[in-house]
Amino acid sequence: MSYLDDLYQEIILDHSKKPRNFKELSDANHKADGYNPLCGDKVSVYLKLEDGFVEDISFMGSGCAISTASASLMTQTLKGKSLGEIETLFKNFHNLVTGKSSASTELGKLAVFHGVSQFPVRVKCATLVWHTLQAAIKSKPETVSTE
């Protein structure tokens, strides 16, 4: 069970059960929806960007433990980060979950996802929210309706 223990670490289970920043953001100016047709995981990322910095970020959706925890921990990590820092983090995170490199220090709590690299079919679960975040950043800035 060691690979499994690595995958389902306490912190991941905790965030999957009690996701943080799990809400719509009423003053978000960027939003995108992500969907993994293979497993039906859905995630929406709400982002408030000010001068290239993340003022606030949240998510909604439904998915497996890995995708929910990934979204929760991502939103926690990214508050206050610049777009440049986000780009680096995503690259490091992607390398981590695909087993290309071990955790860098700036990943912080996100390092718990290293276990995903032993489960190639689950990489998409961990990265869905990141891809959705990228789409949100690229989306036209506007007031996102939360109706």
Partner 1 sequence: MIVRTGQQIIASGRYQTLNPWLEVEKIREDFPIFKEKIYGKPLVYLDNAATTQKPQSVIDATIHFYSRDNSNIHRGVHLLSQRATEAYEHARVKVQRFLNAAESREIIFVRSVTEAINLVAQTYGRKHVEAGDEVLISAMEHHSNIVPWQMLCEEKGAALRVIPINDDGELLLEEYEKLLNSQTRLVAVVHLSNALGTINPVKEIIEMAHQWKVPVLVDGAQAAAHLEVDVQDLDCDFYAFSGHKLYGPTGVGILYGKADLLDSLPPYQGGGDMIRSVTFEKTIYNVLPYKFEAGTPNVAGGIGLGVAIDYVNEIGLSNIAAYENELLSYATEQLCGIPRLRFIGTAHQKASVLSFVIEGVHAHDVGTILDQEGIAVRTGHHCAQPVMARFQVPATARASVAFYNTRDEIDVLVKAIHKVIEVFK
Whole-angstrom distance, CA of residue 77 vs CA of residue 111: 11
Answer for which of 122, 130, 132, 136 binds partner 1 (CB under 8 A) is 122
- Residue linked to tokens 């990590």: 77
The least distance separating partner 1 from the CB of residue 19, rounded to whole angstroms, comes to 13
Q: Any contact of residue 38 with partner 1 (CB under 8 A)?
A: yes
The least distance separating partner 1 from the CB of residue 136, rounded to whole angstroms, comes to 22
Q: Any contact of residue 31 with partner 1 (CB under 8 A)?
A: no
Residue 135 neighbours by CB distance under 10 Å? 15
Binding range to partner 1, per CB under 8 A, among 6-14, 45-53, 74-82, 98-106: 6-14
Q: Any contact of residue 3 with partner 1 (CB under 8 A)?
A: yes
Sheet holding 53-62, edge to edge: 30-36, 41-50, 53-62
Q: Any contact of residue 123 with partner 1 (CB under 8 A)?
A: no
Phi, psi dihedral angles at 57 (to 5 degrees):
-155, 140
Whole-angstrom distance, CA of residue 72 vs CA of residue 15: 6
Whole-angstrom distance, CA of residue 50 vs CA of residue 54: 6
Q: What is the DSSP string of 59-75?
A: EEEE--HHHHHHHHHHH
Distance between alpha carbon 11 and the CA centroid of its chain, in Å? 15
Answer for which of 85, 119, 123, 135 binds partner 1 (CB under 8 A) is 119
Nearer to partner 1, 7 or 78 (CB): 7
Nearer to partner 1, 74 or 116 (CB): 116
Q: What does the binding site for partner 1 look like in residue numbers (CB under 8 A)? A: 1, 3-4, 7-8, 13, 17, 38-42, 62-66, 68, 119, 121-122, 125
